Amino acid sequence: MGRMVVGLLKTTAKVVALLPLGWALALARQWGWMLAQVVRLRRAYVLDALARSFPEKTDRERRALYAEMCRHQAANLMELMRFAGGKDAELGGLLDVRGEEIVRAVRSRGKGVLILIAHFGNYDLMGLYASKLFGYPLTIITKTLKDAKLNALWWEMRRKAGVTEIPAHKAYRPCVRALQQNGLVGFMLDQNRPNPQGVYVDFFGRLASTTPGLAFMSAQTGAPVVPVFMHRTPEGRHVLEVRPILEPPPDRQEETLRAFTAACTKIIEEEVRRFPAQWLWLHKRWKSRPEGEGAPAPAAP
C-alpha cells in the first residue's frame, strides 16, 4: 500500500508542477472547500478550540476561520507538491525574508542557533527553504511517519533541500552536536506532550502540556533561541520573519525552564493571533490535562 501511495504522490507532484501557478492555487482552493464543506475535517473539534481561544468572535466568524484554515492547509499541500515536482525556484520567488541579520549576528557567537518554530504558515516549505536562504547547516527534529515508504519519501525531499533530519526519539545528543558545529536546529514547540513529559504553560488562556526540551537545551549549550515564522499574504506570497533573540535560561532549575517555555509559547500565541487561520488547529494541542483536572466543559456557544 505504501509503495502505491508514494507512486501516486510522485505522479501527482509532477502533474501539478506542470500547471500554471494560478491554476494550481485555484485547484488548491477547491481542495480546501472540499475539506471544509464536504469532509469537514475535525470541524467540531476545531470550532470548539476556536470558541475557547477567541470567545470574542461570533460563531459565523469562527466558521469562516475554519474554512480559511482548510484553504490554507490545501495551499500548503499544493506548494509542497509543486516543490517536489521541480518548482522550487518558482516558490522561492514568492518568498520575502525579514530579519536575516539576526540569525547572522547570533551565529557569530559560535554557539549555534536554536530556531523556535511552530505548525504555522507553510512550515514545511519554510524548513525546505531555510538552509538555502541562510546558507547554514540546518537540522530539524521530526516525528517518524508510520508508513516507512512515505517516511523515506519525505526525508529524501528534505535531504535534497540540504536539511538534516533527526528523529524525535533520542534527538538530544545529535542536536547538541549540530549546535557545537554552529549549526541551526529547528525546534517545534506547539505540540502536546503526554504526562509527565511536559510542563504546563498558558496557551490561549488554557494550560497546555509543552516540552521543556528547548529551554533545557538552550540552558545547557548556551545556544540562544531565535523565533522564526512564515505567513502567507493575501497576494499569495510568503513572508519569513525572524524575531528578536531569547537569551539562554540562566540555569536548569525546573521553574526557570518552565518560565522560559512559557515565554516561547507566548511568542507562538502572539503570531497565531496575528494570522489565526494559518495555525494548524487540527492538532489536539490541549489533549493532556494536569493531574486531578476534570473533563473540560464544552465551550459556550
pLDDT tens-digit readout, 210-246 = 999 999 999 999 999 999 999 999 998 999 999 999 9
pLDDT of residue 7: 77
What is the predicted pLDDT for the residue at 120?
97
Cell of 20: 500554471
Burial 79-105 (b: 16+ CB within 10 A, else e): bbbbbbbebbeebeebbebeeeebbee
Hey, which residues does 115 pair with through a beta bridge?
Answer: 186, 226
Mean pLDDT of the chain: 90
Report which of residues 94 and 58 the model is more confident about: 58
Residues 6+ apart with CB under 8 A from 200: 207, 208, 209, 210, 290
The pLDDT tens digits of the residues spanning 34-87 come to 999 999 999 999 999 999 999 999 999 999 999 999 999 999 999 989 988 888
User: Where do the structural domains in the chain lie, given as residue ranges?
Assistant: 2-278
Q: Report the alpha-carbon distance of residue 32 to residue 27 in Å, rounded.
A: 9
SS3 43: helix
Q: What is the model's pLDDT at position 298? A: 55
